[in-house]
Amino acid sequence: HDWVTIYTPNPASTDEILTFHTEDYINLLKKANRGVPQEDWLRYGLGTTECPVYEGVYNYHALAAGSTLLGASLIEEAKADIVFSPTGGFHHAGKDFAAGFCYINDIVLAIRKWIGRRRRVLYVDIDAHHGDQVQAAFYNISRVMCVSFHESPKTLFPFKTGFETEIGRGRGKGYTVNVPLPENTSDDEFLWAFKKIFLPVAKAFKPDVVLAVLGADVLFSDPISHLQLTNTSVSKALETILQISPKLLALGCGGYVLENIARTWTLAWAIMNGLQPNEEEAALFGGMFWGDSLSSLNDRPHFVPDAVKKAVKRDLQRVVRGIEKNLFPVLKIKT
């Protein structure tokens, strides 16, 4: 389509990466680019099962960060209103360590770029895992609103952060919102909580720009998480985000089933372009080559027993009430 432009990014420069990460850590990551691990690197999270050292590790993640930063620049320079970089979203990388398959935190780099231009940034993370290191980077400031919908840290990495009681500190109090989703959360419960929390918070914050993480690991068929969502949750949430987004940079983030990633992110890109997928053609092609489960970009309805849904709803109602009680007054949101 003539309204879509595809850009080829350059790797993020060392100076750009050092706006968040420490020099010692990045120097080690550059050495790791040769693919030969050293035992003492483990204290930096390098060489673990989740963050192995392999040839080209620095090159790849610097390029992914460069792609996200290019998206941030295109929006800042008014060359685009919506940018999608599927390879971004490394929200577990810390200042001086790698974690959870993440080596360079492209999200923090992009947000820092924007707040350096005095922008109000809304970061909304829909991924099975809590974006712990993005939260940590902006926990004490009010120019960035961090909103995360993720599986409860009681049952999934990173385990220690992402509880609803974490709402920011100091000037940042009220500018961190966590909605931990219980195991077996399905579309109905997720979309109820998203509407109850995201819309009031976004409207109160009035962002200049939105950075959205759209993880495909929230889906019921993902082997890592324990949620029961379909990509309807992702698409409906994205439609809501677009309603309040003056500018949007969307990133892909997690997902451990290739078919889920391909279908969910293709569907998301269609929604960002105001397009409805041609389900008849998809059904014909998908039914012939992949079977019924992949005959559409949209997931089929996924059955979850009523007893399970009711238990999840009770737990989520408790979470939402806590947020409304403890955080909404700080933002002057009426319930």
SS3 for the chain is CCCCCCCCCCCCCHHHHCCCCCHHHHHHHHHHCCCCCCHHHHHHCCCCCCCCCCCCHHHHHHHHHHHHHHHHHHHHCCCCCEEEECCCCCCCCECCECECCECCCHHHHHHHHHHCCCCCEEEEEECCCCCHHHHHHCCCCCCEEEEEEEECCCCCCCCCCCCCCCCCCHHHCCCEEEEEECCCCEHHHHHHHHHHHHHHHHHHHCCCEEEEEECHHHECCCCCCCCEECHHHHHHHHHHHHHHCCCEEEECCCCCCHHHHHHHHHHHHHHHCCCCCCHHHHHHHHHHHCCHHHCCCCCCCCCCCHHHHHHHHHHHHHHHHHHHHHCCCCCCCCC
1 catalytic residue (yes or no):
no
Q: Which of 21, 61, 91, 92 is catalytic?
A: 92
Which positions are catalytic?
A: 92
